[in-house]
């Protein structure tokens, strides 16, 4: 049984879960931390149909397969191409038959070829539910966030509590990630949007919005 949802998971610990309403359908969101870099993996399940989506098969394929056991896994989305976010991808995809999704700009970073291409404004469906894709380059060229309903954002390594993801000293990449955040995330979504990042605890856009100018001034 999953623990009560609070946005925090321990590395290697049990999953936490919450149920949210998306257009009149109930979606269960399960969050767990896998691997030595405390990567968050998320299982989204359309509870009425039993169909599901996995976000970032980062590590520990056995644990991820346990989480999707009994569900019809329709897709595995990799938010970006860094190694710590896909180490269990091939094993989970092979075991479940679920297609792997990745933005083409990061294709050369992931040895397991994608079956489907993430496209800005597109959708990935699971059962009768879907997430909308928001391309947010900066951390990598292909970094993509997933929006569930109106207010649940799975941000990969694009946004964390306290700022944007690492741009590795590149002023050009930092400008790109800030433009992505300001125009495609903070510029279009409300403060109550809950943010589920690729590592660590959750946050909301309302908690982070007042700090945008600080991040720009900080420059990383």
- Kindly list the domain boundaries of the chain, sorted by start residue: 9-218
C-alpha torsion angle, residues 161, 167, 173, 179 (rounded to 10): 0
pLDDT tens digits, one per residue of 144-194: 999 999 999 999 999 999 999 999 999 999 999 999 999 999 999 999 999
Predicted pLDDT of residue 116: 98
Q: Is it the case that residue 15 has pLDDT exceeding 50?
A: yes
Please give the CATH topology (third level) of the domain spanning 9-218.
Metallo-beta-lactamase; Chain A (3.60.15)
pLDDT tens figures, 52-80:
999 999 999 999 999 999 999 999 999 99
For 101, counting Cβ atoms within 10 Å of its Cβ (0-12 exposed, 13-18 middle, 19+ buried), the class is: buried
pTM over 0.95? The answer is yes
Residue 82 CA neighbour count, 13 Å, CB half: 20
């Amino acid at each position: 049984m999953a623990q009560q949802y609070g946005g925090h998971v321990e590395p290697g610990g049990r999953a936490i879960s919450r149920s949210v309403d998306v257009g009149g359908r109930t979606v269960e969101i399960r969050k767990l931390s896998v691997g030595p870099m405390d990567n968050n993996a998320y299982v989204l399940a359309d509870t009425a149909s039993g169909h599901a989506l996995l976000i970032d098969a980062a590590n520990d394929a056995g644990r991820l397969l346990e989480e999707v056991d009994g569900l019809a896994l329709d897709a595995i989305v990799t938010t970006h191409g860094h190694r710590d976010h896909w180490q269990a991808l091939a094993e989970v995809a092979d075991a479940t038959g679920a297609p792997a999704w990745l933005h083409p700009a990061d294709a050369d970073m992931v040895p397991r070829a994608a079956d489907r291409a993430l496209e800005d404004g597109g959708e990935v469906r699971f059962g009768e539910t879907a997430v909308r894709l928001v391309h947010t380059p900066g951390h990598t060229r292909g970094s993509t966030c997933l929006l569930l309903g109106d207010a649940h954002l799975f941000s990969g390594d694009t946004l964390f509590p306290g700022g944007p993801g690492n741009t590795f000293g590149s002023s050009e990449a930092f400008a790109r990630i800030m433009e992505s955040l300001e125009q495609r995330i903070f510029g279009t979504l409300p403060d109550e949007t809950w943010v589920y990042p690729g590592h660590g605890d959750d946050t909301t856009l309302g908690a982070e919005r007042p700090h945008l100018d600080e991040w720009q001034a900080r420059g990383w």
